[in-house]
Structure 1
Amino acid sequence: MSVEALEAAPAVPYGQLVPVTVHFDDLDALGMLHNSRYPLLVERAWAEFWHARGFGFDGDWAAAGDMCNVIKEMKVSYEQPVTRPGYYAAHLWVERLGRTGLTYGFRLCSADGEQTYARGHRVLVRVDPQALRPTPWSDRAREIAAELLHPEAQAA
């Protein structure tokens, strides 16, 4: 997905809406989106967001740069079930941008951003691929992440 395609998504007051698709096989035996699929859809949306801006991973952690990161924490709160396949969106924003850590917020929502199905946050830490210790985000990654800062968030 290109930057232009992402920017064509409906506007939200902060952050970015990224289109996601729920498929029939994402639903559980009760006909609801399986709880494990919510974070998966958000993860795919973040990957689309960063890949559209030239960040990616091709199997070489030493060359991955900012994509070499680990999850420190994740929280998901399920508000109402998704009960049918179709087009939805992940609303993504940055809650905190630190030197080595990044907390992002998200909502899985209707394609227009009006209805919320789940919300949460995830804390990432960029790591050095050899030492597996925290290392600072690049200036470029910080600039892009800063564009998604929630109005009440702060960059360190």
Structure 2
Amino acid sequence: MTAEAPAAPALSYGRLVPVTVHFDDLDALGLLHNARYPLMVERAWGELWREYGFGGYEGDWEAAGDACNAVRELRIGYEAPVSRPGVYAVHLWLERLGTTGLTYGFRFCSADGTVTYARGSRVLVRLDPVTLRPAPWSEPFRAVGRELLHPDRR
């Protein structure tokens, strides 16, 4: 008889995206290095946006569309140490979707979403590729963003 993996809890909002912590992501104490959390969150968002048909930057800001954006603010709080390599997850959602900016929330958590190791938020601003001034998100991007909004923010 084989054991079945525990079912992931139903999320009432957002998406749970798997990420992998490798041995070389750990610091000298054997803990996930603090700078790796935002990197893994970024990779999870990139994967999620690609699933929705929004590619990343490929060398041409004009063609990048909504991927032409910049981070305005990053906040993260660490709640429990990650002390071994393996599969984890990032729970992602939008807290705010404005005309030219957005705020997303995240949790770095166990693969099933039940244990939270870190949580935070990040503010992004969509940029015009020529002027590098704030520019509006496209309507297709906004439609996906509305799906990812936390229910209390809709």
Once the two structures are superposed, residues 2-45 of structure 1 have per-residue CA deviations (whole angstroms, 9 ceiling, x without a partner) of xxxxxxx7631110000000000000000000000000000000
CA distance in 1, matches of 2:73, 2:143: 23
The alignment partner of 2:93 has SS state of: strand
CA distance 1:10–1:62, change in 2 (3 Å): farther
Larger radius of gyration: 2
Give the corresponding residue for 1:52. Answer: 51
**1:32 maps to 2:2:** no
**Aligned residues of 1:31 and 1:83 also touching (Cα < 8 A):** yes
Once the two structures are superposed, residues 73-106 of structure 1 have per-residue CA deviations (whole angstroms, 9 ceiling, x without a partner) of 0000000000000000000000000000000000
Q: Per residue, is there more strand in 1 or in 2?
A: 1
For residues 1-156 of structure 1, the aligned pairs below 5 Å read: 11-56=10-55, 57-154=57-154
CA distance in 1, matches of 2:106, 2:135: 24
Once the two structures are superposed, residues 104-151 of structure 1 have per-residue CA deviations (whole angstroms, 9 ceiling, x without a partner) of 000000000000000000000000010000000000000101111111
Deviation at 1:55, TM superposition (A): 1.1
**Aligned residues of 2:9 and 2:114 also touching (Cα < 8 A):** no
Once the two structures are superposed, residues 43-78 of structure 1 have per-residue CA deviations (whole angstroms, 9 ceiling, x without a partner) of 000000011122112111110000000000000000
Q: Which amino acid aligns with 1:20?
A: V
TM-score (norm 1): 0.91
The alignment partner of 1:103 has SS state of: strand
* Structure 2 unmatched ranges of 5 or more: 1-7
Moved over 6 A (4+): none
Aligned Cα root-mean-square deviation (Å): 1.0
**Aligned residues of 2:58 and 2:64 also touching (Cα < 8 A):** yes
CA distance in 2, matches of 1:72, 1:50: 19
**Aligned residues of 1:62 and 1:129 also touching (Cα < 8 A):** yes
